[in-house]
Structures are given as C-alpha cells and as structure tokens.
Structure 1
C-alpha cells in the first residue's frame, strides 16, 4: 500500500511539473496574435497614455490646492498643468503648419477653476491625438517646416 501511494505521489508530481499551466499558454497565444503597432499607432498610444495620466491628476488634485506654490519662484500645480497642456500646442501647431503659440504658458487668469484647467488639458491632448491620427504612418516621416522661419 505504501508503495502504491508513493508511486501515485511521484506520478502526480511529475505530471504537474511537466505540463505547462493553461494561463501560460493563453498568454503566449494572446501576445503572438497581436501585430506590432505602426509608428503613428505607437505614438498615439503613448500620447493618449500621458494625456490620461495628466487629466487624472488634474481631476484628482483638490481645487483648493491648485494655486499652492512650494516657493514663490515655482509654478503652482495649476500652472504646471497649463504649461504641459500649452506645450502640446507647440507640436500641434507645428504639425499643422500654423504659427507657434505667442506665449510659452497659458495664463492662469484664463483658466480660473479646476474644471477650466482640466478641460484645457483634455482638449490639448485630444487636439494632439487628432493630428497624430490625421498624419498617420506616412506623416511620421514628414519633415516639418518652422512656420516662422519657413525652414526645416
């Protein structure tokens, strides 16, 4: 009886070790089935990921802390968000062949509330995503011309 139990335990242990787990097979099949992303899709995926993260921060941060500055020389949280969203338009406008924004950062006075700032962040990333989609893979190789100097 002891001999049979020992053999059964050994067979069970060997069979569990020798067979791959079903979840491992499923993961391999899923990753193999996806084709690689094209250049514009990869850029769009990253662009949207950054946009989602910034928007989540904008929406999660308490409105009464939006204007807090660790030191007077530093930007507030709202100013940081406006800076990031405003910087998007340096790329968006360039891709459209439009003049670059006149000022580096949008003024806080233009975006008085948390909702205003969050909406601007959301719009800047939506505008950028639209440009990436419109350009497509071919557009990723285009040489851009500076609209101010008309040079590449």
Structure 2
C-alpha cells in the first residue's frame, strides 16, 4: 500500500510541475498604447524633476545664448507645460501668457522651482494614468525638446546629467 501511495504522489507531482512551469512562462500581454504614453510621461518628467533638484543653483541663470531661456526658465517652462496639460485633460482653459508672467515675481531658487514642479507632477500623473489622450504625444515631443536643452545645459557647464551617471 505504501509503495502504491508513493507512485500516486510521484504521478501527481509530475502532473503539477509542468502546469506551474507553463504558467510561469506564459508571455505577458504587451502594454497598451495608453500604458506606454503614461509610463513615458512619468519617466520623462521624473528625469526633469531629478535635474531640477540636482542642477547647481548658482548656475540657474545660465543661458546658452542671450536670446534663450535660462536653466531656471526651462524648468519653469516644463512646469507650465505640466499645468497646461492638466488643464486640457480636465477640459479647462489655461492662460499661458498670464501664467508665464506670474513666474517673473517668484523666487529664483531651487526650492521654489522644485516645489512648483512637484505640485504640477502630482496633479498631472493621476489624469495621465486615468485618461491618456492623443494630445499627450505632442506634449511628450515638446517636453522632450526641453529635456534635451537641459541635458545640453549640463554638458556645456561641464556637468553630467543625473540619468547619465553610473548607477550606485
């Protein structure tokens, strides 16, 4: 009787092992368009936020050309883009010119820039995750251009952007 139970147990194990191996190797469904857009949105803005927290504050006024935005203005411009996108996703109007003028009276500090960007991100991410719309693709392109400018700002100033540093 004991020998028969061992054989049945062995047979049961042989039946269970392949099914668990199949379950583990089943391919995962590819992400949806909406998931890719939301993930890319968050990744891009997290990288820009890391730069705002990291770029030397004494170089916030640096411009690649007198007619260009300073690094501080680039960070603030990205924040305005986040706020404008949030308004669009909510179906609200957004006065870009008034919002840009409002930045003139703000403190020229990292703390101010980072706090505003963090607030804009906190408002943006839930909407982007719950209702990513095609308009975000254009915004990703636009915000990506500013990210590229900021990377140049790092490199021209002899700095390495956070994303390019060796991982710890």
TM-score, normalization by structure 1? 0.61
Verify: 1:50 aligned to 2:44, yes or no.
Answer: yes
Report the Cα offset of residue 70 of structure 1.
Answer: 3.2
Paired residue total: 110
Look up the match of 1:23.
none
Q: Distance in 2 between matches of 1:110 and 1:117?
A: 9
Q: Distance in 1 between matches of 2:65 and 2:134?
A: 43
Q: Distance in 1 between matches of 2:70 and 2:42?
A: 24
Look up the match of 1:59.
53
Q: Does the Cα contact within 8 Å between 2:84 and 2:96 map onto a contact in 1?
A: no
Look up the match of 1:110.
106
Verify: 1:69 aligned to 2:63, yes or no.
Answer: yes
Q: Does the Cα contact within 8 Å between 1:51 and 1:122 map onto a contact in 2?
A: no
Q: Deviations over 1:17-56 (max 9, x none)?
A: xxxxxxxxxxxx77x6432112322111001101111011
Unaligned runs of 5+ in 1: 1-28, 143-152
Ranked by relative contact order (alpha carbons within 8 Å, sequence separation 6 or more), the top structure is 2
Q: Does the Cα contact within 8 Å between 1:82 and 1:121 map onto a contact in 2?
A: yes
Unaligned runs of 5+ in 2: 1-23, 136-168
Radius of gyration: which is bigger? 1
Look up the match of 1:38.
32
Look up the match of 2:89.
95
Report the Cα offset of residue 71 of structure 1.
Answer: 3.0
TM-score, normalization by structure 2? 0.56
Q: Distance in 1 between matches of 2:92 and 2:122?
A: 17
Instruction: Name the CA shift for 1:108/1:63 in 2 (closer, same or farther; >3 Å).
Output: farther
Look up the match of 1:124.
120
Q: Distance in 1 between matches of 2:122 and 2:41?
A: 9
**Which aligned runs of 4 or more in structure 1 are off by greater than 6 angstroms?**
none
